[in-house]
Amino acid sequence: ETGVTQTPRHLVMGMTNKKSLKCEQHLGHNAMYWYKQSAKKPLELMFVYSLEERVENNSVPSRFSPECPNSSHLFLHLHTLQPEDSALYLCASSQEGAGSYEQYFGPGTRLTVT
């Protein structure tokens, strides 16, 4: 285990549903990330939060809405998704300023949009 947990591990939702993905890190890190992993494509950065402030938004459609209420928790709120949004969504955390910047990843949420 990496100290980064994600729930749920699997999610099937219709295009009109609203759901949320949750990420929690137990490492005391100050930065958290959402990535999207699709088949045969590189991991795509979606959002970066540093000290609970969104510092990067990688041109993600507005149907994805992140929330970072504190440094340990990160959410990804989903609404009116499209079938092409089906993918593995990965959360990661790191300690900025410590010189390492190594990112620790959670197990991911496998999302299927029907």
Partner 1 sequence: AQSVSQHNHHVILSEAASLELGCNYSYGGTVNLFWYVQYPGQHLQLLLKYFSGDPLVKGIKGFEAEFIKSKFSFNLRKPSVQWSDTAEYFCAVRRYRTGRRALTFGSGTRLQVQP
Binding interface with partner 1 (CB under 8 A): 2, 4, 31, 33, 40-43, 45, 48, 50, 55-56, 90, 92, 94, 96, 99-108
C-beta of 1 vs 84, nearer to partner 1: 1
Least CB distance to partner 1 at residue 15 (A): 28
C-beta of 80 vs 105, nearer to partner 1: 105
Tokens 């209420």 appear where?
69
Least CB distance to partner 1 at residue 98 (A): 12
b/e per residue, 35-46, with b = 16+ CB within 10 A? bbeeeeeeeebb
C-beta of 3 vs 14, nearer to partner 1: 3
C-beta of 6 vs 85, nearer to partner 1: 6
Report whether 72 contacts 22 (CB < 8 A): no
Nearest by Cα to 35 from 79, 96, 76, 63: 76
CA distances from 66 to 53, 57, 61, 96, 97 (A): 11, 10, 11, 20, 23
DSSP lists the bridge partners of residue 10 as: 110
